[in-house]
């Protein structure tokens, strides 16, 4: 039978196979079915996120899909190489080279391909063959993974930030803030936010930056959630009972002040970032860092190239000139920094500290609740520390460990691929 070149994606419904269907009728139906499926399959692959693949997908299969996603979609869309034939031993066959033709058998396809899903799977299978010559088992694995992918899935790869406080934690996920753990003061009851872009938490309150500025909620016994007028928020931080923001280079603080933790030095130059503990505050400056509040945590060591700073209850840490430096209380070893390779982020809890370096997450200090016993993580990209627990954001979502008396390590299912 004459080859028919598939040219158009038609919006008609696939009909069931009829026992008395002629070859010509079957050919026409297959042309319509595969032309529609070509568009559906290409659109699905172009929009495919790696987290949408089944959780059981092997790493090599996932890597192939991610690497070749655009090429597969383009190959399926191009489709001048797709023909309907009267006789073939299988429903579809390819010449096993990129951009080669895919030939569809009228008799076999009418028996095996009766809907869009099967037509899409057939097209994907043959397109995968174009880039994976000869390995039928691997081609089947890739095809099955793409067919089972759910692009509407609540992908954990869209978690952009996490935060941890005394006994609660939060995550910024797909433009929404979700919190869990203790809720004695409303610290996990997120108010209406408009496109939040950052979250911070400490003590028993939480703050988030959104299109309308800075919003804080939770414990307010010292006015720590009453945000003053801010015009140009560059950074913000949350302490145990106070909060601060870098507003146009100037640090503004509000809330508890029994130790002078919100008394910003009048001579403080423009600040880049801030970090807050229980009774002290710190800021990264153009050169070095400065802290204020209760000693000994405000007596900073010599710092010249600070890129990151974190403050805990009675100690602080900074990444300075490619190394982690900690100061203040060291009764639990929280300032005794282990060997690290190219540290890029730090976190400080009540009596423990953590760092994210080239090799993953390392924690040190008090481990009475397992807060420094780092579990297996897959490509971690952030670590945060609560009072006696720790959380990390990795390729599989959010994972928390340590003390769990208030549900602070019970990560919601939507934030973790199990």
Closest CA to 122 of 138, 137, 135, 103: 103
Least confident of 35-44, 154-163, 243-252, 374-383: 154-163
Q: Residue 11 has what pLDDT?
A: 27
> Which one has a higher pLDDT value, 330 or 135?
330
Least confident of 91-105, 280-294, 373-387: 91-105
Closest CA to 243 of 222, 259, 258: 222
Share of the chain above pLDDT 70, in %: 89
Q: Residue 414 has what pLDDT?
A: 81
> Which one has a higher pLDDT value, 157 or 398?
398
For residues 309, 204, 194, 251, the Cα torsion angle rounded to the nearest 10 degrees is -40
Give CA–CA dist 74/46, Å, rounded.
Answer: 9
Task: State whether 136 and 180 are in the same domain.
Answer: no
CATH number, domain of 69, equals 3.40.390
State the sign of the Cα–Cα–Cα–Cα dihedral 285, 290, 293, 294.
positive
Q: Residue 341 has what pLDDT?
A: 97
Across 63-67, 142-146, 279-283, 410-414, which has the greatest mean pLDDT? 279-283
Q: Cα–Cα distances in Å, from 251 out to 91, 260, 371?
A: 69, 14, 32
The pairs formed by 278-282 with CB atoms below 8 angstroms and a separation of 24 or more are: 278/203, 278/239, 278/240, 278/241, 278/312, 278/313, 278/314, 279/240, 279/313, 279/314, 280/311, 280/316, 281/237, 281/239, 281/242, 281/244, 281/251, 281/253, 281/311, 282/309, 282/311, 282/316, 282/318
CATH number, domain of 188, equals 2.130.10.30
Considering 148, 182, 205, which residue would you say is the last residue of a domain? 148
Global pTM reads 0.67
Q: Residue 4 has what pLDDT?
A: 25
Q: Residue 253 has what pLDDT?
A: 98
The answer to whether residue 164 scores a pLDDT higher than 60 is yes
| Beta-carbon count within 10 A of 71 CB | 14
Q: Residue 172 has what pLDDT?
A: 95
Task: State whether 88 and 164 are in the same domain.
Answer: no
Residue pair 255/223 in contact by the 8 Å Cβ criterion: yes
Task: State whether 124 and 259 are in the same domain.
Answer: no
**211-253: per-residue pLDDT in tens?**
999 999 999 999 999 999 999 999 999 999 999 999 999 999 9
Residue pair 330/294 in contact by the 8 Å Cβ criterion: no
Least confident of 117-126, 275-284, 348-357: 117-126
Q: Residue 15 has what pLDDT?
A: 34
Task: State whether 160 and 139 are in the same domain.
Answer: no
Range of the domain at 339: 156-415
Task: State whether 320 and 387 are in the same domain.
Answer: yes
Instruction: Calculate the average pLDDT of the chain.
Output: 87
Considering 92, 114, 148, which residue would you say is the last residue of a domain? 148
Q: Residue 62 has what pLDDT?
A: 84
Task: State whether 206 and 108 are in the same domain.
Answer: no
Task: State whether 227 and 277 are in the same domain.
Answer: yes
Task: State whether 214 and 356 are in the same domain.
Answer: yes
Alpha carbon 293 to chain centroid, angstroms: 35
> At CA 249, angle to CA 285 and CA 306, rounded to 5?
20
Task: State whether 121 and 173 are in the same domain.
Answer: no
Give CA–CA dist 289/286, Å, rounded.
Answer: 8
Pairing of strands 306-311, 315-320: antiparallel
Task: State whether 262 and 203 are in the same domain.
Answer: yes
**396-408: per-residue pLDDT in tens?**
899 999 999 999 9
**304-360: per-residue pLDDT in tens?**
999 999 999 999 999 999 999 999 999 999 999 999 999 999 999 999 999 999 999
The answer to whether residue 5 scores a pLDDT higher than 50 is no
The answer to whether residue 109 scores a pLDDT higher than 60 is yes
Considering 102, 117, 148, which residue would you say is the last residue of a domain? 148
Task: State whether 274 and 366 are in the same domain.
Answer: yes
Q: Residue 48 has what pLDDT?
A: 81
Question: Per the structure, how many domains does the chain have?
Answer: 2
Task: State whether 79 and 18 are in the same domain.
Answer: yes
Least confident of 48-52, 134-138, 290-294, 366-370: 48-52
């Amino acid at each position: 039978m004459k080859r028919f070149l598939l040219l158009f994606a038609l919006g008609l419904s696939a009909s069931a196979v009829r026992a008395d269907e002629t070859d010509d009728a079957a050919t026409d139906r297959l042309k319509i079915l595969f032309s529609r499926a070509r568009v559906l399959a290409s659109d699905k692959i172009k929009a495919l996120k790696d987290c949408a693949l089944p959780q059981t997908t092997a790493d090599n299969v996932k890597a192939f899909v991610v690497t070749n996603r655009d090429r597969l979609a383009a190959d399926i869309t191009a489709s001048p190489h797709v023909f309907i034939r009267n006789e073939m031993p299988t429903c579809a066959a390819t010449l096993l080279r990129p951009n080669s033709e895919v030939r569809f058998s009228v008799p076999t396809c009418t028996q095996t391909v009766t809907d869009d899903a099967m037509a899409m799977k057939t097209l994907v299978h043959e397109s995968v063959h174009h880039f994976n010559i000869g390995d039928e088992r691997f081609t089947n694995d890739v095809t099955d993974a793409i067919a089972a992918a759910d692009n509407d899935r609540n992908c954990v790869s869209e978690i952009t930030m996490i935060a941890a406080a005394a006994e609660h934690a939060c995550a910024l996920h797909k433009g929404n803030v979700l919190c869990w753990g203790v809720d004695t003061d409303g610290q996990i009851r997120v108010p209406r936010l408009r496109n939040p872009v950052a979250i911070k938490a400490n003590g028993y309150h939480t703050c988030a930056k959104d299109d309308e500025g800075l919003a804080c909620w939770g414990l307010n016994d010292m006015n720590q959630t009453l945000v003053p007028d801010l015009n140009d928020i560059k950074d913000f931080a949350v302490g145990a009972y106070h909060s601060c923001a870098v507003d146009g280079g100037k640090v503004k603080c509000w809330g508890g002040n029994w130790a002078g933790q919100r008394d910003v030095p009048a001579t403080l130059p423009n600040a880049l970032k801030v970090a807050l503990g229980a009774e002290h505050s710190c800021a990264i400056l153009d050169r070095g860092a400065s802290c204020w509040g209760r000693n000994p945590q405000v007596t900073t060591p010599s710092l010249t190239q600070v890129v990151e700073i974190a403050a805990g209850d009675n100690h602080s840490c900074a990444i300075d000139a490619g190394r982690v430096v900690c100061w203040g209380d060291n009764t639990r070893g929280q300032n005794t920094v282990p060997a690290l390779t190219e540290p890029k982020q730090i976190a400080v809890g009540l009596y423990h500290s953590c760092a994210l370096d080239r090799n993953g997450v390392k924690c040190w200090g008090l481990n009475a609740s397992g807060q420094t016993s780092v579990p297996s993580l897959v490509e971690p990209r952030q670590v945060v520390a609560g009072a006696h627990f720790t959380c990390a954001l990795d390729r599989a979502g959010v994972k928390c460990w340590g003390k769990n008396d208030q549900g602070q390590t019970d990560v919601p299912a939507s934030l973790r691929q199990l």
